[in-house]
Amino acid sequence: MGVMLIRRGRVIDPDQDIDGQFDVLVLDGVVAAIDKGIAPPDGAEVIEASGHVVCPGFIDVHCHLREPGFEYKETIATGTAAAARGGFTTVCAMPNTSPTTDSRAVVEFVMQKARDEGAVRVLPVGCVTKGSKGETLAEMGELAEAGAIGFSDDGFPVADPNIMRQALSYSSSLGLPIINHCEVPELSRGGSMNEGWVSTRLGVKGIPSSAEEIMVARDIALAELTGGRLHLAHLSTAGTIELVRNAKEKGIDVTCEVTPHHLTLTEKTLLGDANGDSLFEPLTASAYNTHAKVNPPLRTSDDVGAMVQGLAEGVIDLIATDHAPHSQIDKLCTLDEAAPGLSVLETALGSVLSLYHQGQVALPTLVAKLTAASAGFLRRDDVGTLRKGAIADIVVFDPEAEWVVDASRFASKGKNTPLDGTTLKGQVVATIVGGEVVYDAQS
């Protein structure tokens, strides 16, 4: 590690309420100073950031790296390379691997693999139940000691309310959150998209909003009962936002996240080119786009509006990608057969910046939801900030740069995105982890 100076960028650090043109000096992997007109020390690596935003590295509290067990979809090496391209310097790996992350051995494997091959920091999430089967609690204390930052059976909900109650009670003594995928299986089973006029037009079984909202209401009630830390993953409905708003007003310990796609895309994405409002508009070959199948599904424009409003108002705590890479064979099939999930890490910034460009959410708010808010969720003060002495995890991005998404050029093995071929505005220029450049768009 050496000396680095990032000059003349618009520094946005929500943790310190900084937003202005400054230089950032990095010494031996930590932030040494933020000031104007810092002279480059001898031998310093200088990054010219004029016209660019300089902020703490993004933190993704919810992504799928697939290793161990599903390396044909993604590996820790390819997933973290994708994260670096997207400006993420810390990612939290979900436990639906094979074997699942329900033992100390798997937590330690993920952490060691990340140290050996990862481009960015990886923090494992442990299972709530053994094998994520929803029957018996995992050894949560052992997982926490090994380095798990929370517990989730993501991919599956914790369907049994008594198991969920036990999990919240036990995890509260560890100070770690239960992260639930909120879905009532009996209402969602067999569904491939949102239940509504678009699913009717496509002749596909839908998933009603109530499948999410009923589970969220249950979990909030159990969090109030137990005093446990509840985190609600990838929220998608307007009704859910109201439930969370009411819970926070009551002082219940609940946090939540939203994905870039639930902030920007609607169910009409699955119509392809026939993206109108008519039940009778002819469909084209671009309909039934399996790359737009995700769980929870893309919802209505009203739901998207509620997500954006909830983010701007602070009801939604943070943005997480739910990066879910799949192989081609997982998506080259019918909509009903396709695996749900999108490859998101490399498009996340461009997606969410559309809210800024449309005047819906302020740029510092978006940066906060990707940095300081996520660090607060992790209860860490050494990342998600540019405070003096913090780890020098930094991203430099151009908020005005336009680029065309080409999934074939993703670092991720997962090319499954409905954004392929679309133009996004906002691109990462450089990603720095611990004072070392791990991604440079010019190289």
Catalytic residues: 322
- Two tokens at 130? 């053994």
375, burial (CB in 10 Å: exposed 0-12, middle 13-18, buried 19+): buried
CA distance 76 to 120: 10
Nearest to 155 by CA among 66, 240, 261, 260: 66
Cα 386 to Cα 18: distance, rounded to the nearest angstrom? 9
By three-state DSSP, how is residue 113 classified?
Answer: helix
CA gap 233, 123 in Å, rounded? 17
Q: How far apart are CA 151 and CA 127, in angstroms?
A: 5
User: Cβ-count burial of 117 within 10 angstroms (0-12 exposed, 13-18 middle, 19+ buried)?
Assistant: middle
- Please state, in angstroms and rounded to a whole number, the distance separating the CA atoms of residues 435 and 137: 40
Q: How far is CA 351 from CA 321, 355, 356, in A?
A: 11, 8, 10
Angle between helices 363-370 and 301-313 (to 10 degrees): 90
* Cβ pair 201, 267 in contact under 8 A: no
Sequence-distant (≥ 6) Cβ neighbours of residue 276 within 8 angstroms: 268
Question: Nearest 5°: phi and psi at 183?
Answer: -160, 130
Q: How far is CA 42 from CA 25, 39, 292, in A?
A: 12, 9, 51
Q: How many CB atoms lie within 10 A of CB 39?
A: 9
